[in-house]
A and B are shown apart, each in its own frame.
Chain A
Amino acid sequence: MFAYIIRRVIATIPVVAIVALFIFSLLYFAPGDPAAIIAGDQATPADVERIRASLGLDRPFVVRFFEWSWQVVQGNLGVSIFTNLPVSKMIAQRIEPSLSLMLLTLTFAISVAVPLGVLAAWKHGTWIDRLVMMFAVFFFSVPVFVVGYLLAYTFALQLDWFPVQGYTPFSISDPWPWLRNLVLPAAALGGAFVALIARITRATMLEVLSQDYIRTARAKGVSQRPILFMHALKNAAVPIVTIIGIGFAGLIGGAVVTESVFAIPGVGRLVVDAILRRDYPIIQGVVLMLSFTYVLVNLCVDLLYTLFDPRIRY
């Protein structure tokens, strides 16, 4: 197992390197010029050129790519063109809100979706099943920002239970302000995720519940709860865990919108703002970090398989 983990971690290096080359090339060839944005309308072409030169944007692709790659290898993601701040510092400022939002969303989604999916499978064909599936289709279809606005209007503006926007850093002594800021965003972002996991859980559970060993367990008089949660769910877990892993990418995408709607200073907003103003070092740094994180999440998912299915060995 340990050797497998080491192998997988080493395997992330070429993946991240390919992502780095791809994103660098994409940005190099994409239209837009940060020097022109900074210089403004009054600037002469010579002024723009001077700013471009001062930012090092006038050098050839290969030189810039290898310089940046060498910096990255040394743990330096560069400096933002606009803010003059180290990219690693800017990402570090944004990690906590994004991680908080994602963890809370995942916790909310899994704790709601799995029981719902199991319930729908157990009550297959009944009104409960249809209600759960209707709920799933609804939340899967409605855009995150619409859910966000509705939640903010109802629970923040009308009922004044939660704040409309913002983020309070986590504090062990008083986590309530942190939680209060994240409840609505996590619920908005989690809606689609709940729908996705609930549908997969239901489908997988239905398949497992029709297996012979479940019939045998029932014939032996095992009650419904152990059948559902001990025998069936554990065997249905592999596809569910897989979809949670895949959904992580969707969560990153959805977080961009949620962070904008609820003004949470997360990594998603950082990268979108950077794309709009062509702040290349930030885009490169964040995409690199996210791709690395995604690879690690998938590694964790693969390792979780061994917990749920002893037949899987690495």
Chain B
Amino acid sequence: MKRRTVLQGIGAALAAPRIAAAQAARVLKFIPQSDLTVLDPIWTTAYVTRNHGFMVFDTLFGSDGSFKASPQMAAGMTVESDGRLVRITLRDGLKWHDGEKVLARDCAASIKRWGARDSFGQTVMAVTDELSAPDDKTIQFRLKKPFALLADALGKSSSNFAAMMPERLALTDPFKQITEMVGSGPYKFKADERNVGHLVVYECNAAYVPSPTGTASWTAGPKIANFDRVEWHVIPDPSTAAAALQGGEMDWWETPTGDLLPTLRKAGITVAIQDPTGLIGCMRFNQLQPPFDNPAIRRAIIGAISQEDFNLTIAGDDPAMSRTGVGVFTPGTPLASDVGLEPLIGKRDYDKVKRDLAAAGYKGEKVVFLAPTDLAVLKMQGDIAGDALKRAGLNVEVQAMDWGSVVGRRTNKGPIDKGGWNVACTFWTGGDHLTPAGHTFMRGTGEAGGNWGWPSSTVLEDLRTQWFDAPGLAAQQKLAQAMQRQVMQDVPYVPLGQVLQATAFRKNITGVPNGFAMFWNVRKG
């Protein structure tokens, strides 16, 4: 053996740990909130798909921490003809993951696909006379009337967000899933390594050109991909996920359960609340069937709801992890207020609720409550809600079932003897309740509308329409207060409090952005 070979071997052996550490620093191992089954962020509203979508697809506008839109793929936007002609120009150097240039017609087709599914998108398309691409870099909206929220709509960060994709994919029926993951986002999806229910892999998009302007915040500003590879490891069991994080097998766990937070902190894991909008619990009534077709009965039920009870059960006694006094809009955001929330606040008086129910005409009819059992947070929410309804004196039949059954069952508009239902609860992210644009549960579109429970309120719908046309924040806030008062009258749903979700990552992970799980600007090492 030559001396030089021996020396090279020794050198390589000495350098190996540092090389391995450097390589490990370029791989991020992440435990997502749930399995990623659907990849198309337009086809489903699942939050895990939204998070995946922001890895792969970029948006024309981003949304920052103060929920203001700022250009992302867009270089700029001009508004002419009294607000009826809007032109959005694309930045230079944008490329799809397959190497093709991003063209305006790709984006126009993407907006149309999004506009067919998303409620904010549908509003945009309803005020749009023509959406076109007069050249490769310009997207042009001819509007029926001025629409000041266009950039906000195109930059919304909650599901479904306006994901830009090549025209050949964007022309897919919005009710069918696209078959390829070709976007222009900071990471590329590795289809060949996908193992559903176990592993999802992304690799750095070397051709990505980050936005040259703005400050990185939520989905706005420069998105810098610092990892060669991001691996999502699906670990269904919370205890196992916690152990994997403690043992260094994983770097970041998106949604640790509340009971494990003290253990994680004790083990030196960083536990942080990155998303101040959290989750907002909602109780929904089937308003097509008695007794909740009677608004006085729905109003009486508000008196039985203790947001403290829900928060304590779900988030524990740490006051930093939940908020009460939650109304229609996400606490701490521009439209939130406590106007009209008096029935939700203060000590609960169940005798009064019983009297109110009797006065409203409740005669002891059976009330079917759909209670999911397979998702821990929803199970806890169901337990408290069922108990509150019973304490209110309702003749409640709690029907326990898995979440899939609840989702199927609640589409049934019929009476309970024909498989119908009366009450069900769920969570929305606070990001969905920022404004009336994406706030599905305050809609009053009735039986023709898509919202299970089918509440009907022309007043709420009128206020919502006015809100889109409001000239500024002050006017929007005034209308938001009117909407909140009306929600407490019509009771399309009852807010059950806000729970903040912690995220947990190892000490060597830095730069985790505020908001939901996003992977740009994160570093390891």
Give the interface of A toward B (CB within 8 A).
30-34, 36-48, 50-51, 54, 80, 82-85, 90, 93, 149, 152-153, 156-157, 160, 163-167, 260-263, 265, 269-270, 273, 275-279
Q: Which of B194, B237, B426, B449 is A261 in contact with, Cβ under 8 Å?
A: B237
Q: Is the CB of A51 within 8 A of B175?
A: yes
B residues with CB within 8 A of A: 35, 37-39, 43-46, 117-119, 159, 173, 175-177, 179, 194-199, 233-237, 239-240, 243-244, 246-247, 249, 374, 401-405, 407-411, 426, 428, 440-441, 448-452
* CB pair B374 A157 closer than 8 Å: no
Distance A45 CA – B448 CA, assembled complex (angstroms):
8
Q: Which of A39, A165, A279 contacts B244 (CB 8 A)?
A: A165
Say how far B455's CB is from chain A's closest CB, in angstroms.
Answer: 13
Assess the A165–B249 pair: CB atoms within 8 A.
Answer: yes
Query: When chains A and B are docked, how far (Å) is the Cα of A80 from the Cα of B194?
Result: 14
Are A82 and B240 touching (Cβ within 8 A)?
no
Least CB separation from B454: chain A residue: A45
Give CA–CA (A270, B195) in the complex, Å: 10
How far, in angstroms, from A274 to B409 measured CA to CA in the complex?
18
Task: Give Cα A42–Cα B441 distance, bound, in whole angstroms.
Answer: 9
Question: Are B404 and A37 neighbours in the complex by a CB distance under 8 Å?
Answer: yes
Chain B nearest Cβ from A286, distance in angstroms: 12
On whether the beta carbons of B407 and A36 are closer than 8 Å, the reply is yes
B38, B374, B410: the one within 8 Å of A83 (CB): B38
- Of the candidates A31, A157, A167, the one whose C-beta lies within 8 Å of that of B243 is A157
Least Cβ distance of A132 to chain B in Å?
31
Kindly provide the distance from the CB of A154 to the nearest chain B CB, expressed in whole angstroms: 11
Contacting B240 at CB < 8 Å: which of A43, A160, A263?
A263
A44-B449 in contact (CB<8A): yes
CB–CB A153/B407 < 8 A: no
Contact A47 B195 (CB under 8 A): no
9 further A-B contacts with Cβ under 8 Å, apart from A33-B411, A265-B195, are A36-B407, A38-B44, A39-B45, A41-B440, A45-B450, A54-B173, A157-B247, A166-B244, A269-B197
Contact of B411 among A36, A80, A163, A273 (CB under 8 A): A36
B44: nearest residue on chain A (CB-CB)? Answer: A38
Is A82's CB under 8 angstroms from B45's CB? no
Name the A residues within 8 Å of B179 (CB-CB): 84
Is the pair B243, A50 in contact by a Cβ cutoff of 8 Å? no
How far apart sit A262 and B37, CA to CA, in the bound complex (Å)?
20
On whether the beta carbons of A156 and B450 are closer than 8 Å, the reply is no
A263–B402 CA distance with the chains assembled, in angstroms:
21
With contact pairs A32-B407, A38-B38 given, residues A47 and B117 touching in the complex (Cβ less than 8 Å): yes
- For B452, the closest partner residue in chain A by CB is A41
Contact of A269 among B45, B46, B236 (CB under 8 A): B236
CA distance A153 to B235 in the complex (A): 16
A34 to B44, CA, bound (A): 11
Once bound together, how far apart are the Cα atoms of A173 and B37, in whole Å?
A: 33
Residues of chain B contacted by A265 (CB below 8 angstroms): 195, 197-199
A-B contact pairs, 13 of them (CB 8 A): A31-B409, A38-B44, A39-B44, A42-B118, A51-B175, A54-B175, A80-B196, A85-B196, A160-B247, A164-B240, A263-B235, A276-B402, A279-B37
Shortest distance between the CB of A81 and any CB in chain B (Å)? 9
Indicate if the CB atoms of A156 and B38 lie closer than 8 Å.
no
- Interface contact A276-B374, CB-CB below 8 Å: yes
Question: Bound complex: CA of A80 vs CA of B159, how far in Å?
Answer: 23
Given contacts A83-B196, A263-B236, are A41 and B451 in contact (CB under 8 A)? yes
Question: CA A38 – CA B448 in complex, angstroms?
Answer: 20
CA distance A209 to B177 in the complex (A): 66
State A38–B195 Cα separation when bound (angstroms): 20
Closest B-chain residue to A34, C-beta based? B404
> Which one of A31, A261, A265, A279 has the greatest number of beta carbons of chain B within 10 Å?
A31
Closest to A89 in B: B196
Q: Is the CB of B118 within 8 A of A165?
A: no
B175: chain A residues at CB < 8 Å are 47, 50-51, 54
CA distance A156 to B237 in the complex (A): 16
Which residues in A have their C-beta under 8 angstroms from that of B247? 156-157, 160, 163-164
A153 and B243 contact, CB distance less than 8 A? yes
Give the chain B neighbours of A45 by CB distance below 8 A.
411, 450
Q: Within 8 Å CB of A51, what residues of B?
A: 175
Which residues of the partner chain A approach B411 to less than 8 Å between Cβ atoms?
A: 33, 36, 45, 48
Q: How far is the CB of B350 from chain A (nearest CB, A)?
A: 30
Pick the contact of A166 from B43, B173, B233, B403 — CB < 8 Å? Answer: B233
CA A90 to CA B194, docked complex, whole Å: 10
B404: which A residues are within 8 A, CB to CB? 32, 34, 37, 275-278
Question: Given A37-B407, A43-B450, A54-B173, are A165 and B440 also a contact pair (CB < 8 Å)?
Answer: no
